[in-house]
Amino acid sequence: MTGQEEGNEQVQLELARLRQEHRDLDAAIDAMVSLGTADSIQIQRLKKRKLVLKDRIKQLEDQTVPDIIA
């Protein structure tokens, strides 16, 4: 395996991990809201973490997709 392929595999693994964490946070937020067990500050923190994850996912996706100049 070349260094590029290995690096791409690492990026794909990181993407999968981040996407799973994003889904888990989404489920946790939904559960807290529906059960009424969390305060608004806690929910806002989780939502902020989701946004950070979304930004990181976008960065990694941009790394893996080659730029196409039209």
Helix (H), strand (E), coil (C) string for 16-59: HHHHHHHHHHHHHHHHHHHHCCCCHHHHHHHHHHHHHHHHHHHH
For the stretch 22-68, pLDDT in tens is 999 999 999 999 988 778 999 999 999 999 999 999 999 998 877 67
- Tokens representing 50 are 């989701």
How high is the pLDDT of residue 70?
A: 56
- CB 21 within 8 Å of CB 56: no
For the stretch 3-21, pLDDT in tens is 777 778 899 999 999 999 9
How high is the pLDDT of residue 13?
A: 95
Nearest 5°: CA angle at 41, between 36 and 44? 90
- Tokens representing 36 are 């009424």
Q: What is the pTM of this model?
A: 0.80
